[in-house]
Amino acid sequence: MDSGNTSWVLVSAALVMLMTPGLALFYGGMVRAKNVLAMLMQNFFALGLVSAVWALLAFSLAFGTDFKGIIGGLDFVGLKGLFSTEALPGYTGAFALSIPPAAFFAFQMMFAIITPALVSGATADRLKFSAWALFLALWTVLCYAPVAHWVFNPAGWLAKLGALDFAGGTVVHVNAGIAALALAFVLGRRRSWPREAMPPHSLPLTLLGTGLLWFGWIGFNAGSALSAGKLAAQALVTTHLAAATGVLGWLAVERWQRGRATTLGAASGAVAGLVAITPCAGFVGGGAALVIGAIAGIACALAVALKFRLGLDDALDVVGVHLVGGVLGSLLLGVFADKSVNPLGADGLLYGGGFRLLAVQALAVGAVLAFTGVMTLGLGWAIHRLWGLRVDEESERIGLDQTQHAETAYALFESAALTREAPPVPSGAEKAEEEAPALSAASSPPRAPA
């Protein structure tokens, strides 16, 4: 065990944990004011529920003793033996850990939390909270844990084939992106979409969330080196550079299409660049990171417009950013991977490796798309039939903050608005003066005719 590596991974776990509140603000600013607390709650709730599910079962399924490369065993159910073991199954030889298994558990737990939380952006404004809680728990066990075992665990079948994913291009972003697409399809459109404009209610909140995501992504990617050395530094640099060119690529598309650059475009471009570099961060050089980020910014900006043509109400562009960005990053890794950066990686197409890595990456992307897509469709349909996924029309009109949580995000401003709109109430003296002439005229006898 190495104390420096352990310290870095623990700090990185804290950084990744901060990404979930950052995601809550990023999404919360993009919804209408009547739904902002519901969006914040869906993300914060994931911190509680997924943590418990991860400790009780999902971690063991992802990183327990391998069963034919498909799923882990029940070695660590309820954290049984985790704090006494010296090594995790499969992490031997070049993959041996220099950190305590408990530190690895904590770091991976933060990944498990934010992955299903990403899905909430596609279902904004119309998802029942109780259905969300049920979906979170089941999806973490049925979809996230198996895919994490396939790719992150050295004994997983995709890992054995040579599929690379430094920090979660397939496990996190493709996984969450296809789940968002499937659940949005089952849930249906928001009422009045796309006829009625539904603009973000607070872009400052969204930009604050973007900053927290960008900050936390340093731990997300550089922490995935699982050591405080050259590889972590490499991943940090490539992560930041891809985010930077992601901003530039997205804004270039906006200037070309609309003639102006927007703050929402800058925020979305940064996230697109970060998504695309996630699988690549520890396997590519700095020049490749600049290209990958720019391609992602451009491609994701073009992709988000397709939802209107397809009639798919992906409310906050999870599919356009995370699914498209995750697929791009995973495939571009097959082009730009450089084994001189990381000996545990492979050479991509541009570095003499031929098409083999690109083919394996495509297989990994296809496998996750098929498995999680079908599983989420089935899970969403079952919850919809047995429990009900969506709030009723009146609740959607009023807003989820009041109907699901009995709260209002901006009560102070609403009270001020009501005060301005209400007519002034006269005091007792003013009321007597107003009524006096009428009483006097009514009580006096009629005047005699001349």
| pLDDT digit string, tens, across residues 85-126 | 888 999 998 899 999 999 999 999 999 999 999 999 999 999
CA dist 229 and 218 (Å) reads: 14
pLDDT band at residue 446 using 50, 70 and 90 as cut-offs: very low
Q: Which domains does the chain have, with CATH numbers?
A: 3-405 (1.10.3430.10)
Distance CA 304, CA 73 (A): 39
Residue 448 in this model has a pLDDT that exceeds 80: no
**Average pLDDT of the chain?**
92
Note the pLDDT of residue 382.
97
Tokens of 286: 């700095």
- Residue 136 CA to its chain's centroid (Å): 13
Per-residue pLDDT band for 442 (boundaries 50, 70, 90) equals: very low
Count of alpha carbons within 13 angstroms of residue 231, beta-carbon side: 22
Predicted local distance difference test score (pLDDT) of residue 411: 77
Where residue 434 falls among pLDDT bands split at 50, 70, 90? very low
**Is residue 432 over pLDDT 70?**
no
Does this model's pTM top 0.85? My answer is: yes
Question: What is the dihedral angle through the alpha carbons of 166, 171, 176, 182, rounded to the nearest 10 degrees?
Answer: 140
pLDDT tens per residue, range 350-377: 999 999 999 999 999 999 999 999 999 9
DSSP label at residue 127: B
pLDDT digits (tens, 9 = 90+) for 175-227: 999 999 999 999 999 998 988 889 999 999 999 999 999 999 999 999 999 99
